Amino acid sequence: MGECLGLYVHIPFCRSKCDYCDFYSLAGKEDRMDDYQKALLRHIVESGAVARSYALNSIYIGGGTPTWYGEKRLVELLRTIKRRFCLSKDVEITLEANPDSVDVKMLRHLRRVGVNRISMGMQSGNDQELCAIHRPHTYQQVVEAVAAVRQAKIQNLNLDLIYGLPGQTQESWEETVEKALDLAPEHLSCYGLMVEEGTPLAQRVARGETLPDEDQQAALYLWTVERLAKAGYEQYEISNFAKSGRQSRHNMKYWMGHPYMGLGAAAHSDFGGRRYSFVSDLDSYIQGMLQGGEVVDESEEITRRERGSEYLMLRLRTVHGIDEWEYRREYMMNFEPLAAKLAEFEQRGWARRRGRRWQFTPEGFLLSNQLIGQLLELQENATLGGTLERIRRQKQEET
């Protein structure tokens, strides 16, 4: 068996759509679930034939709200994946869930077909804040859903939280984090609220509704990093914290540049040296898969220079950071301009150097988009260089 592969399956159906969400998701389309399932199963069969030389070591079923899709469909989906793909013995199978659409019976059945990790959208421990973003559940339902996960003997749980919500204060955010810690998840994802164009939240802001400003969000974030460290959670990416050995294997594939295949409407892939995505339209996807039409929306071959840019963008989101020798060796790029800029960041407290590796500090993570943008601009102007012979000479000089 060859290289390991990640598989993402997109379930676009939701009970209701949250005000901040700009993912491809649909509410009120339950009558199309059966047709989507037929299309998705065909997609699995066709893709499994292409990926025969790979072993799946992570499967991530996201959405949308996969648990709204129904237990029977999810079981059928997973059984088909197991028949059509080669799975590693320790495959991590994550299912996204909302607290209002899970119960012990469903979770037990899903565990029997391999689900061993749940990623639950808690978002807040404050019912007023949940209502403000039109989440379809209460905090008490979160407590009950977590209990159901544990009763189903699923031992790996992530809780999603959002800071910067309408009406949120430092005190209410701290209370949310403490409530989440009381539930003892193995993993926490803490995201800053993003106001995405075209969402109901963006319309509310345009009408004058105020949100916590950048300074307030920064204070919430830095407090969170410190508090979760004290609680035994290791930060391994800007927004992600885990107990030892509980990092999300699937998300690490994105950040570390490893191959993954996406199935379903609007799903993205990085596989076979190409990056491609499928149509973000339910009817077009179903028709294309069932009638032999085109379902690929965009497809491009990725150049070495583009891979180098991705390396900077994705690795600097993680505590692993970037390795100077690896960058030179893999992408044949001149690192000196980047090293000079990173040294500037270090003086400002935004980055740190450990041997040949550079990584952002928590303060640097807050500014990561701007900082990475500066590095990418330098890379664009860099000349190709750094042959293997040059790398060997540099290693000899440094040792």
Domain spans of the chain, in order of start: 4-255, 305-398
Using CA atoms, how far residue 229 sits from 69, 156, 224, 242, 378, in Å, is 36, 19, 8, 10, 34
| 64-68, 85-89, 330-334, 394-398, range with the lowest pLDDT | 394-398
Domain 4-255: give its CATH superfamily.
Answer: Aldolase class I (3.20.20.70)
Q: What is the pLDDT of residue 394?
A: 53
Given this model, what pLDDT does residue 79 score?
Answer: 98
Q: How many residues does the chain have?
A: 399
- Residue-averaged pLDDT of the chain: 93
Region 103-118: mean pLDDT is 98
Question: Could you tell me the pLDDT band of residue 115, with boundaries at 50, 70 and 90?
Answer: very high
Predicted confidence (pLDDT) at residue 212 exceeds the cutoff of 60: yes
CA distance 285 to 123: 30
Q: Pick the more confident residue, 1 or 147.
A: 147
Tell me, what's the pLDDT at 349?
98
Instruction: Please compute the mean of the pLDDT values over residues 70-83 and round it to a whole number.
Output: 97
Q: Which residues lie below 8 Å from residue 307, measured CB to CB, with a gap of 6+?
A: 257, 330, 331
Under 8 Å between Cβ of 291 and 271 = no
53 phi and psi angles, rounded to 5 deg: -85, 0
Q: What is the pLDDT of residue 138?
A: 97
How high is the pLDDT of residue 22?
A: 87
* Strand, coil or helix: 245: coil
CATH code assigned to 305-398: 1.10.10
Confidence of residue 385 (pLDDT cuts 50, 70, 90): very low
Confirm whether pTM is higher than 0.85.
Answer: yes
The string of pLDDT tens digits covering residues 324-359 is: 999 989 888 889 999 999 999 999 999 999 999 999
Q: Note the helical H segments in the chain.
A: 33-50, 71-84, 104-112, 127-132, 139-151, 170-182, 200-206, 214-230, 249-256, 282-291, 304-315, 324-331, 336-347, 362-366, 368-380, 388-398
Strands 187-192 and 157-163 turn out to be: parallel
pLDDT at 37 exceeding the cut of 50: yes
Over the stretch 236-248, which tens digit does the pLDDT of each residue have?
999 999 999 999 9
Torsion 64-67-70-73 (CA) sign: positive
- Burial (CB < 10 A; 0-12, 13-18, 19+), residue 377, is exposed
Environment class of 63 (CB within 10 Å of its CB; exposed 0-12, middle 13-18, buried 19+): buried
| Section 363-382 average pLDDT | 91
The whole-number average pLDDT for the span 89-97 is 98
Task: Identify the pLDDT of residue 381.
Answer: 74
Per-residue confidence (pLDDT) for residue 187, from 0 to 100: 99
At residue 398, the pLDDT reads 52
* Mean pLDDT along residues 122-151: 97
- For the stretch 154-193, pLDDT in tens is 999 999 999 999 999 999 999 999 999 999 999 999 999 9
pLDDT on residue 388: 46
> What does the pLDDT read at residue 332?
82
Percent of the chain with pLDDT over 70: 95
pLDDT score for 387: 43
Q: How confident is the model at residue 386 (pLDDT cuts 50, 70, 90)?
A: very low
Region 256-266: mean pLDDT is 96
- Is the previous residue joined to 64 through a cis bond, with omega within 30 degrees of 0? yes
pLDDT band per the 50, 70, 90 thresholds, residue 2: low
Q: Quick check: helix, strand or coil at residue 265?
A: coil
55, 88 in Cβ contact below 8 A? yes
